[in-house]
Amino acid sequence: MEKIYKTRMSAGKCDNPEEAKIIEQTHTQSEIISRAKELLLKELGLDLCTFAGLEEAAVRESDGDSVYYVDKSGNQVEFTEEMQFDAAIAVLNLNGHFFEAIPVN
Q: Please provide the DSSP assignment of 24-77 as one string.
A: EEEEEHHHHHHHHHHHIIIIIS--GGGGGT-EEEEEEETTEEEEEEE-TTS-EE
39-57, pLDDT tens digit by residue?
Answer: 888 777 788 998 899 998 8
Q: Is the dihedral of CA 2, 88, 35, 6 positive or negative?
A: positive
The reported pLDDT for the residue numbered 43 is 78
The reported pLDDT for the residue numbered 18 is 67
Residue 30: phi, psi to the nearest 5? -70, -30
> Is 9 exposed, middle or buried, given 0-12, 13-18 or 19+ CB atoms closer than 10 A?
buried
1-51, pLDDT tens digit by residue?
Answer: 899 999 999 886 666 666 778 899 999 999 999 999 988 887 777 889 988
Q: How many CB atoms lie within 10 A of CB 41?
A: 12
The reported pLDDT for the residue numbered 58 is 81
